[in-house]
Amino acid sequence: MTDPEARLDFNRRKRLGMVEAVWGEHKTTGQISSILRAFEAAGETALVTRVDQNKADQILGIFGPSVEFHPKARCLTLGRPTKSLYSKGEVVVLSGGTSDVPVASEAELCLRWHGVKTHLLFDVGVAYLERILSQLERLKLTKVIIACAGMEGALPTVLGGLVPQPVIGVPVSVGYGVSLGGRAALDGMLASCAPGLVVVNIDNGYGAAMAALRIMQLEL
């Protein structure tokens, strides 16, 4: 039986072109399992974000192969992704450093789950500028760029001044002292001098993916 506290949005795909995502970090195994059962009964795919290995193991023990755990992205999925938007181009997801990989992987998985062609580029932060400059020709071929960065969060600003595509910045809660759990990166991205830079909340890989999805769904 579905958790009586959960009011699931099974019409979100028809209304917005995206499936409802379930925040898993503060839900119990029982609550997540109940929600997944409801999605399964409705014939809908499901995406659960922020799930640790222990919780994932318990849920996989209940559902078996119908549910898959993606450890880098810390997500569970039910069903199969579509490929409906592959013809519209590609979204490239970047991480400034390897500590940003979980957030970048969440963004990439959420896009791929919605039928968007994706590519991940890890460890291209601005501490050694050549790392990102060497990827510019590759980036010029993409439709949208998602850049995940902690510390001062400079990567999206640098990209915003180098490429014409939409750039979505994701501040990551990585860094010493005054980084303040991603607040310095968030403030730096919001104060960027690169015009048109889009910024989402700290560690919000899912939100960045859905912003990119809305762009990809446009008929230009």
Question: In the predicted model, what is the mean pLDDT of the chain?
Answer: 89
Q: State the pLDDT at residue 1.
A: 44
| Domain, as residue range, for 38 | 12-78
In a domain, 5, yes or no: no
pLDDT tier at 220, thresholds 50, 70, 90: very low
Q: Residue 129: which of 103, 175, 162 has the closest Cα?
A: 162
The token pair that represents 133 in the structure block: 């400059």
- Of 78, 102, 132, which one is at a domain's C-terminal end? 78
The answer to whether residues 139 and 195 belong to one domain is yes
Tell me: pLDDT of 98 over 60: yes
- Rounded to an integer, what distance in angstroms lies between the CA atom of residue 183 and that of residue 163? 25
Q: Whole-prediction pTM value?
A: 0.89
- Of 78, 96, 122, which one is at a domain's C-terminal end? 78
**pLDDT tens-digit map of 157-167:** 999 999 999 99
The answer to whether residues 90 and 145 belong to one domain is yes
The answer to whether residues 163 and 54 belong to one domain is no
User: DSSP states of 61-125 as a string?
Assistant: HHHGGGEEEETTTTEEEES----TTGGG-EEEEEESSGGGHHHHHHHHHHHHHTT-EEEEE-S--
The answer to whether residues 38 and 100 belong to one domain is no
- Integer-rounded Cα Rg, in Å, for the chain is 18
Q: Residue 76: which of 95, 49, 108, 113 has the closest Cα?
A: 49
Q: Coil, helix or strand for 5?
A: coil
- Rounded to an integer, what distance in angstroms lies between the CA atom of residue 151 and that of residue 213? 27
In a domain, 1, yes or no: no
Q: State the pLDDT at residue 219.
A: 57
In a domain, 163, yes or no: yes
Tell me: pLDDT of 186 over 50: yes
The answer to whether residues 58 and 102 belong to one domain is no
The answer to whether residues 196 and 134 belong to one domain is yes
- Of 36, 60, 78, which one is at a domain's C-terminal end? 78
**pLDDT tens-digit map of 135-156:** 998 898 899 999 999 998 899 9
CATH code of residue 107: 3.40.50.1970
The token pair that represents 135 in the structure block: 């990827």
- Rounded to an integer, what distance in angstroms lies between the CA atom of residue 22 and that of residue 32? 8
